[in-house]
A and B are shown apart, each in its own frame.
Chain A
Amino acid sequence: MAITTTAARVRTRKQNVFRSVFPPDASQPAPLASAFAEAGEPIRSQGAPLPSASSSASSSSSRPRRHAAIHSAGSAHGSASATGRRTRGNQSTQQSSSPGVSDQVRWDRAWHVVTSRIQLPTSVAVEDSFGALVPESQDLDVTFYDSLALVLDPAALAPQAAHTEDILLWHSRQVRQHFLHQVLPLLAACTSSHQRGHSQVLLSIIGTLEAAHRQYLYGLMLIVRGFRDDTSAEAATAKFRRDVHAIVGNSWTPELIAVIRNVLHHSLRTILGSTSRDSGLGPGWSREADVSKARGELLGLLESLHQVGLGGDKFQVLFAEMMDACMLDFIQDSYSRVWKVSDGRRKSRAATGPLCLNHLCNWIENRYGRLAVEVLSRLGGQVAWSDVERWREVATGRLATLRMHELFDIVLHWPDSKGGLDDLAASVTTPQRRLQLTDAFSATLQARLLHPGRSTLDILQTYISMIRTFHALDHSKVLLDRVVPALKLCLWNRDDAIGIVVTGLLANPNTANAEDNDGKLVELAVILNETSQQHQGRVDEEDLGWNDMSWVPDPVDAGVNYKRPKNEDIIGTLISALGLQDVFIKEFQSIVAERLLSKQASFQQEIKVLGLLKKRFGEAALQNCDVMIRDIVDSKRVDTVLRRNLRNDGALEANSLSYHSKILSRLFWPSLPKDPFTVPLPVAQVQKKYEAGFEQLKSSRKLNWLDHLGSATVKLDLEDRSIDLECKTYEAAVIYEFHDGGDESGTSGPVQRSFNELWEKLMMDEDLLESALKFWVAQRVLRDVGNKTYVVLETLDSELGDKDVMEDQVATGGDTEKEQPSPKKPKNMGAKEREQRTMYWQFIVGMLTNSSPAMPLGQIAMMMKMLIADGCPWSNEELQEFLGEKITEGELELVGGKYRLVKK
């Protein structure tokens, strides 16, 4: 009996040892319960331990593979020691009361009592189950504390026990195990439940972790109670906490990160106020109540996160990322396209800088910094003042970047966008940022302005705004010079640029807002009138700026030949951007010539512009223009004198038509095209007399008539109406041809003339004749009756008779009127264009003879662009058209997409 009892005890002990080494698995509550029962009542029956042992063995084999490996190693050791002890037990069965064995037994028992007490609950369905701690019963406590004392200090209380263990180590191991197998799946279940809001998910996670913590700490607390001195107790607690935090801190899953990120995002946006942008730059972005509520929530959340061990480095990194993103969002949301200028109230305070920038700095200090400080203090970190300053710098840089990308729009909205520019001026302080600014702007410029879709007028207008904007941004003009080359290049390729500028300069500044100024740069005229007055006073003072208190050194990134510009000087900058001065002057000359020949009465504006240009280019360069203006003034006088003379001579009859002329000095005028035609007889007579008179007056000079330039006032008496209108001389000549016939054939109906008749009679250029006929058709004086024959429309009734036809014609008349420039174009540019075409043809022939016998269109175009010294103004389409003509002429052939010369 004694033997069996001992054997049973030994077996139980063995099992206990096994269990103490391998914390009982959570999935099997049964053996644990039995073990506890055994511990409480040492021997009940022989067979009792056996099933539990086998079940524990089977359970260990049913564990996941990973663990099994570790445990099999451990179990080998365990069983070895057990057998060793067993042999000893067998040898000394009689000495069951020996002190070594009894110490060991006592220790084992105590171990049992303790471990079963702090055993973590094994099945956890919901997080709440963690909260139910084992109720403390008095009778248990006594045994527990006795056992605890024994377990904690085996050396003193059971010196003979050979096999002892550290209960703390055991507890942390079981905690780790428990966390891995119970809590983590629970957390995963929490994060994967999508139907709930993120904040709720987070709360439940925290709840779970908190409950687990409570549970773990409860066990620890029980153990620690057994410590006699406080310091070692504290040390043990601290170590345990660290362990637990390490375990929790390493359990970040992507889902958890996503959840936290989301929750943080919401609360940060509320607190930092980046959600509301309508309130603009007022003191509160979101309602204060919301903010403080959200702030409270966030801080509470952070505290609990910190407590459960999620406030470690990973969280701090995450938080930093979120804050960073939040700053970006805030800047983007609050300041994007907000270009307010400081209003009056603020202006009263001295040195209010740019509005947005100040606002941003305030925000960084008062909200962003505050939040960061609060958060980090909860997490045990610290924020230095230098950190806040760095944040401010970062924010300033970001605002600058935002403004840089907006710069093009700022330019377009100038001057309403002054606030934005102020921000930029204040934030762009380093050469790097200046470079960034010019780079960004150049890129935008290229993408948004300098493409064929933009009209030259647009480009020029933008350029003017650019000059103004950049001048406000940077008086030194260095920035402007850096972005402008691409624009200049683009303007050089626009043939009409100079024309637009010159007409703009010559426009009437008083009609700046009138509608007829569409397509003109009237602002130039306005600027011209303003600056011409300002200019006078400023010239001298600039030379020696001893008293210039606003003087600043040249910017560091200025070029070598940098010269400080005096002022905005829009016109000057614009003109210098347009290329060489002689080109500009030539264009100016031809435009002025056109205007001088118009019926305009006074030429004040022209004279003013001329004065301005003289200042810029020198007297000599503009001598021609001077002469031109003098010509016009002179010819008025000469005209009066001549006409008086002629009348005195009786050469001019009273009833004859009044005839005026403008006498131009041929040498000084741009070459005007000559399109001679037979002027109506009466006019020719007067011309002759006039000519004679002139030659009398200025003996060495001779008059050459430019018949087609000028205008005539025509009065037409038709059957039912009379028309009084002003038209071109050639138009007058054409309608005059319809005049004669009426007298001869009286009643035979309206006069009818065919195109060819007119052409032979007038010897007028065909294009000119056609456009004149169209003009009269549009005026409803003539009617095209088909077959290139025109009839005078004597009564409007006859038009009504066949209204359909007429409307048709009016419509076509209208259309062709618009097309008018196109048939005239090749004629006008005739000689030059023809010459060019011959030259280009030579090029193409040379290319196809020598370079390569067959070439595709693209390559031809490329070669021409590269090799022709002046560049090739033709687009690919124009070139294709040209090559197409050559194909129809039989000079070229197109084979397989490549052009080649036809072999002869």
Chain B
Amino acid sequence: MDYSGDDQNSAPGSVQASKLNAARKGPDSQSVTKRLQTELMTLMTSPAPGVSAFPSADGNLMSWTATIEGPDDTPYSGLTFKLSFAFPSNYPYAPPTVLFKTPIYHPNVDFSGRICLDILKDKWTAAYNIQTVLLSLQSLLGEPNNASPLNGEAAELWDKDMDEFKKKVLGRHRDIEEE
């Protein structure tokens, strides 16, 4: 079976290739698809602990859902967070749009889930991938960048009153269970 994957681009009648292509437009959509498919395979064959990601349920490769488990020794320990990834059509030359779907109390995340992280903005390079983004976000949970907070109160509490911070984190956290 290992040849059919290679044939997908060359074979005109390949059902899978055409199915995937039909979902998207644009000149480069096939390379994006291929890249995302490769990333998915990497994620599946060598998963990193505490993070996982998968394309959304409708089979559209351009939008994914990811899960991060709160690292131990942080206020987020034991909690899981869902994120949404939306990939631009020129991915990986532009960063994906990443949002926290689970409400989170964090200095660098605002209340609508937007994240302030340099590698998702100007520091993005094509060398990053979904897994690295997820791992960066996981470490961001333990080490917020309080210099440029989106949530000033959280940044303040992080520095001053860790117990209160933890309380706020637990108060804000809610497991979203979409059907």
Contact = CB atoms under 8 A, between A and B. Distances in A.
Interface stretch (B39-47, B135-143, B152-160): B39-47
Interface residues of B, number: 39
Contacts of B14: 489
A873 B55 contact: no
Given A851-B55, A855-B57, A873 B13 contact: no
A850 B41 CA distance: 15
Interface in B1-41: 1-7, 11-16, 19-20, 37-38, 40-41
B145 interface: no
A270 B45 CA distance: 75
Interface stretch (A14-22, A645-653, A839-847): A839-847
A445 to B, nearest CB: 12
Contact of B19 (A849, A853, A866): A866
A852 B60 CA distance: 13
Interface stretch (B62-70, B71-79, B112-120, B164-172): B62-70
A526 B45 CA distance: 46
A854 interface: yes
B40 A583 contact: no
Contact of A867 (B6, B15, B55): B55
Nearest to B3: A583
Nearest to B56: A851
A863 B37 contact: no
Contact of B6 (A580, A846, A851, A859): A580
Interface string A2-33: 00000000000000000000000000000000
Contacts of B47: 842, 846
A351 B178 CA distance: 75
B114 to A, nearest CB: 20
B67 A866 contact: no
Nearest to A846: B54
B52 A850 contact: yes
Given A850-B66, A866-B59, A843 B13 contact: no
B16 A488 contact: no
Given A859-B57, A870-B4, A870-B5, A850 B44 contact: no
Interface residues of A, number: 35
A608 interface: no
B109 interface: no
B7 A492 contact: yes
Contacts of A718: none
A870 B1 contact: yes
Interface string A862-886: 1101111111010000000000000
A485 interface: yes
A750 B45 CA distance: 54
Contact of B16 (A579, A843, A846, A871): A871
A839 to B, nearest CB: 6
A235 interface: no
Contact of A839 (B38, B44, B67, B179): B44
B29 to A, nearest CB: 15
A486 to B, nearest CB: 6
Residue of B11, B16, B54, B64 with most chain A CB atoms under a 10 A cut-off = B54
Given A866-B20, A867-B59, A873-B1, A851 B52 contact: no
A839 B42 CA distance: 10
A548 B100 CA distance: 73
B7 A579 contact: yes
A136 interface: no
Interface string A567-583: 00000000000011011
A582 to B, nearest CB: 8
Nearest to B16: A871
A815 interface: no
A863 B54 CA distance: 10
B15 A489 contact: yes
Residue of B5, B20, B44 with most chain A CB atoms under a 10 A cut-off = B44
A847 B12 CA distance: 29
A214 to B, nearest CB: 73
Contact of B178 (A839, A843, A852, A869): A852
A850 B37 contact: no
Interface string B104-128: 0000000000000000000000000
A859 B4 CA distance: 22
Contacts of B56: 851
Contacts of B98: none
A492 B53 contact: no
Contacts of B11: 485, 488-489
B64 A850 contact: yes
A853 B59 contact: no
B161 interface: no
A495 interface: yes
Contacts of A845: 52
A850 B177 CA distance: 10
B179 A846 contact: no
A862 B59 contact: yes
B179 A580 contact: no
Contacts of A839: 44-45
Nearest to A898: B179
Nearest to B53: A850
Nearest to A493: B4
Residue of A855, A863, A865, A866 with most chain B CB atoms under a 10 A cut-off = A866
B16 A866 contact: yes
Contacts of B15: 489
A846 B53 contact: yes
B67 A492 contact: no
Contact of B57 (A486, A495, A843, A852): A852
B5 A871 contact: yes
A849 B59 contact: no
Contacts of A871: 1, 4-5, 16
Contacts of B13: 485-486, 488-489
A488 B66 CA distance: 37
B149 to A, nearest CB: 28
Given A486-B13, A867-B55, A850 B3 contact: no
Contact of B52 (A579, A846, A853, A855): A846
Contacts of B64: 850
Contact of A849 (B6, B37, B54, B179): B54
A866 B56 CA distance: 12
Contacts of A855: 57
Contacts of B5: 869-871
Nearest to A492: B4
Interface in A427-453: none
Contacts of B2: 583, 870
A854 B177 CA distance: 10
B65 A843 contact: no
A845 B44 CA distance: 9
Nearest to A583: B3
A849 B67 contact: yes
Contact of A495 (B1, B7, B66): B1
Given A489-B14, A492-B7, A583-B3, A869 B38 contact: yes
A156 to B, nearest CB: 91
Contacts of A847: 54
Contacts of A492: 3-4, 7
B32 to A, nearest CB: 14
A843 B7 contact: no
A866 B19 CA distance: 8
A851 B16 contact: no
Contact of A853 (B55, B61, B179): B179
12 contacts: A485-B11, A489-B14, A489-B15, A492-B7, A842-B44, A850-B64, A850-B82, A851-B65, A853-B178, A866-B20, A869-B37, A870-B1
Interface of B: 1-7, 11-16, 19-20, 37-38, 40-41, 43-45, 47, 52-57, 59, 61, 64-67, 82, 177-179
Given A579-B7, A849-B52, 8 more contacts: A488-B11, A489-B13, A849-B67, A851-B65, A852-B57, A853-B178, A866-B19, A873-B1
Nearest 5 A/B pairs, CB to CB: A485-B13, A850-B54, A850-B65, A846-B54, A851-B57
